[in-house]
Amino acid sequence: MAKKKKKTAEEVDVVLIGAGIMSATLGTLINELHPRASIAIFERLDEVAAESSDAWNNAGTGHSALCELNYTPQRADGSVAIGKAIKIAEAFELSKEFWSYLVVHGIIDRPEHFIRSVPHMSFVFGDENVAFLRKRYETMREHHLFHGMSYTEDHNVLRDWIPLIMEGRKPDERLAATRIDIGTDVNFGALTRSLFLHLTQKEGVKLRLANEVRDIERADDGRWKITVKNLTTDKKKTVVAKFVFIGAGGGSLLLLEKSGIPEADGFGGFPVSGQWLKCTNPDVISKHHAKVYGKAAVGSPPMSVPHLDTRVIDGKTALLFGPYAGFSTKFLKNGSWLDLPASIKLSNIRPMLAAGMDNIPLTKYLINQVRQSPDDRLAALKAYVPTARKEDWELEIAGQRVQVIKKDKEHGGILEFGTEVVSSADGSISALLGASPGASTSVSIMVDLLARCFPERAKTAQYLSKLREMMPSFSHSIADDAQLCRETRERSAAILKLERTLESV
């Protein structure tokens, strides 16, 4: 009787876990830099961009720090720190450069399918907040990245800028706003689908939907053994890869823990869910054209900053308000209620407990958000749209976010609200944890990841030359060079069909 042949594992150069904007961006960069690299992409759902990258699961703001007040905190002395805003604005310009390259080379055929010009505004009320916004404006306008920003406390100007928000307001109400017209609305779901459509037409690139990664372990030769289950057939297979990227959104932490790398020790996750109110009245939608960000309530996470957003999704204009935060033990919108308890290990229990003790106001805030009634949500909306009627708005469930908890010498553990890249010492495996402004700055995050994981290759003349072809400002700082900033924005605006004026660039 003939012996059964032992199944051999599939071997690839790169495995990407998760079919969202991060994997799509990294896969596209790798394919452009190393066209012969074999890439396998695994997604547990039966479609790409169905979690955080989906248009209805995020705000769609091209996060460039033009309107987001949490990126410009006020110091104890009253001054406003804009260092983080500068960094984010610069990173978003790199994203636009890369997307422009994709358009020029036919990788994306119509930029208007995923990016549109929408003014970005900050809006506040009350003496203290008005004073803060004025100080923020005075600080930011001095930097060329924010040239073109306007400020007003004049109700007549505000009625011109945001007529829907100004309807029904008292003439003596203390209000202020900033506006800048180079803001954008981005459909990251549409962008992700375009990138994967291009990638899957390439030789050596395979996208496998409804395939869930169940385990990750180091092989004897230093490569990574990935156990994958086909959720349609229930069959398991093993894939061996030289490099693994875990870009599974909220699910990244659980997979990172399975890898067993010491660099993952101490990392935990705090899930925050979200909801929007979506306008259903076309007449109301037509009265607003901007992304208007306010100030977060005390104790609330930055992702819960209230904002009234013009969206363009699949060519149709929409209007969203929120997000209303909530708590769920799921790490993904389509995840398991056991995700949070399953993530707790001996290596991270102390940081998670310490972060929990330090963030009791946040916990109380989330509990109160979960308990909100439809009338409570309407009252929050009316702070921005005084004439809002309940019948014109419906509830839309947003995506799930997992905020990063990490070790801290002083506190034991701290809760972070940005993104965190965790890589093994040899650079053979890397994971992205956290949330905003991730999608908008995905290009700079992935370029940095490649330099970290492939340091020698990233120094070669061929590699650097290709990066400069894709992103002409690469290795230069548009934050330090006003002329380069102007030229970069002009070029990107022309290719991406964005509105541009001399004043705004």
Can you say whether residue 171 is alpha, beta or left, with left for phi > 0 and alpha for psi between -120 and 50 degrees?
Answer: alpha
205 pLDDT exceeds 70? yes
The C-alpha atoms of residue 188 and residue 20 are separated, in whole angstroms, by 9
135 pLDDT exceeds 50? yes
Asked whether the beta carbons of 122 and 161 are under 8 A apart, the reply is: no
pLDDT digits (tens, 9 = 90+) for 401-428: 777 777 777 777 776 767 889 999 999 9
pLDDT of residue 370: 63
Asked whether the beta carbons of 393 and 381 are under 8 A apart, the reply is: yes
504 pLDDT exceeds 60? no
Residue % of the chain over a pLDDT of 70: 89
pLDDT of residue 401: 73
pLDDT of residue 328: 75
Exposed, middle or buried by CB within 10 Å (0-12, 13-18, 19+), for 8?
exposed
Q: 433 in helix, strand or coil?
A: strand
72 pLDDT exceeds 60? yes
Residue whose tokens read 């969203």: 320
pLDDT of residue 360: 57
pLDDT of residue 65: 95
pLDDT of residue 268: 77
The C-alpha atoms of residue 38 and residue 30 are separated, in whole angstroms, by 10
Kindly indicate the confidence band of residue 291, based on its pLDDT and cuts at 50, 70 and 90.
very high
Lowest model confidence (mean pLDDT) among 50-64, 90-104, 291-305, 455-469: 291-305
Name the phi and psi angles at 22, rounded to 5: -70, -50
Q: Tokens for 329, please give them.
A: 């033990």
The string of DSSP letters for 64-132 reads: SSSS-GGGSPBPTTS-B--HHHHHHHHHHHHHHHHHHHHHHTTSSS-GGGTEEE--EEEEEESHHHHHH
The C-alpha atoms of residue 428 and residue 13 are separated, in whole angstroms, by 11
209 pLDDT exceeds 80? yes
3 pLDDT exceeds 60? no
The C-alpha atoms of residue 20 and residue 251 are separated, in whole angstroms, by 12
Q: Tokens for 338, please give them.
A: 């056991």
pLDDT of residue 202: 95
Residue % of the chain over a pLDDT of 90: 70
pLDDT digits (tens, 9 = 90+) for 353-366: 666 666 656 666 66
341 pLDDT exceeds 80? no
Q: In the predicted model, what is the mean pLDDT of residues 126-140?
A: 97
H or E stretch at 218: strand 211-218
Q: Tokens for 281, please give them.
A: 């009245």
Q: In the predicted model, what is the mean pLDDT of residues 288-309?
A: 82
Kindly indicate the confidence band of residue 369, based on its pLDDT and cuts at 50, 70 and 90.
low
Of 446, 442, 447, the closest CA to residue 463 belongs to: 447
Crossing angle for the helix pair 461-470 and 83-104, nearest 10 degrees?
Answer: 90
Is the C-alpha dihedral spanning 298, 300, 302, 307 positive or negative? negative
pLDDT digits (tens, 9 = 90+) for 224-240: 999 999 999 999 999 99
Asked whether the beta carbons of 473 and 93 are under 8 A apart, the reply is: yes
pLDDT of residue 1: 47
pLDDT of residue 409: 73
Of 444, 397, 454, 400, the closest CA to residue 423 belongs to: 454
pLDDT of residue 93: 97
Q: In the predicted model, what is the mean pLDDT of residues 21-50?
A: 96
Q: In the predicted model, what is the mean pLDDT of residues 105-123?
A: 95
Q: Tokens for 42, please give them.
A: 């695994």
Q: What is the mean pLDDT of the chain?
A: 89
Q: Are strands 429-434 and 419-423 parallel, antiparallel or unpaired?
A: antiparallel
pLDDT digits (tens, 9 = 90+) for 426-480: 999 999 987 767 899 999 999 999 999 999 999 999 999 999 999 999 999 999 9
Of 91, 99, 38, the closest CA to residue 447 belongs to: 91
Q: Tokens for 291, please give them.
A: 């992304």
131 pLDDT exceeds 50? yes
Asked whether the beta carbons of 15 and 224 are under 8 A apart, the reply is: yes
86 pLDDT exceeds 60? yes
pLDDT of residue 324: 77
Q: Tokens for 18, please give them.
A: 């998760």
The C-alpha atoms of residue 272 and residue 322 are separated, in whole angstroms, by 14
What's the chain's Rg over C-alpha atoms? 23
Q: In the predicted model, what is the mean pLDDT of residues 49-73?
A: 91
223 pLDDT exceeds 90? yes
Q: 454 in helix, strand or coil?
A: coil
The C-alpha atoms of residue 89 and residue 66 are separated, in whole angstroms, by 8
The C-alpha atoms of residue 446 and residue 243 are separated, in whole angstroms, by 14
Q: Tokens for 431, please give them.
A: 């994971």
